[in-house]
Structure 1
């Protein structure tokens, strides 16, 4: 597919973007999540400065991403250990 031009509104600012057609929905959903989170922070913390709200939003999503990466890495380590253990058992079995 090709690229398309879209406009995304984040924190009351318009950002013109050129994106692959396949990515448009994901980008629009991401912008909505960001705006929803900004609105939530604005209501719960009485913060009005857009820069502060954006910073809080970035911190929120970066923290979530790092936690997800940590869980993914821990899962990968467990899988590698299980494969190594299975490999060791198979090697022992076939070398009898």
Structure 2
């Protein structure tokens, strides 16, 4: 599939993008999430400057991403430990026969 041209609106600014057709839906959903978060911040905080609202969004999503990455690393370590333990059990089992 090829590239297509789309326009994304974030914080009342339009950004023309060339994206892969498989990525279009994800990019549009991401823009909607950002705009929804900006709206939430506008309603709950006394912040009107779009730059400040965008900075708050970036901080929120960067923090969320880092937490998810840390969780994946912890889970990967736990899985690796379990695989190692299983390997040891199997080695002990088969060496005992």
Q: Tell me the TM-score normalised to structure 1 length.
A: 0.97
In structure 2, the residue matched to 1:69 is 69
Q: Distance in 1 between matches of 2:86 and 2:26?
A: 39
Q: Quote how far apart the aligned CAs of 1:45 are.
A: 0.6
5+ residue gaps, structure 2, are: none
CA RMSD of aligned residues (A): 0.6
Q: Tell me the TM-score normalised to structure 2 length.
A: 0.96
In structure 2, the residue matched to 1:31 is 31
SS, match of residue 65 in structure 2: helix
After the TM superposition, which parts of structure 1 deviate over 2 Å for at least 4 consecutive aligned residues? none
Q: Quote how far apart the aligned CAs of 1:17 are.
A: 0.2
SS, match of residue 48 in structure 2: coil
SS, match of residue 81 in structure 1: helix
Q: Quote how far apart the aligned CAs of 1:82 are.
A: 0.3
Matching of residues 75-90 of structure 1 within 5 Å: 75-90=75-90
In structure 2, the residue matched to 1:6 is 6
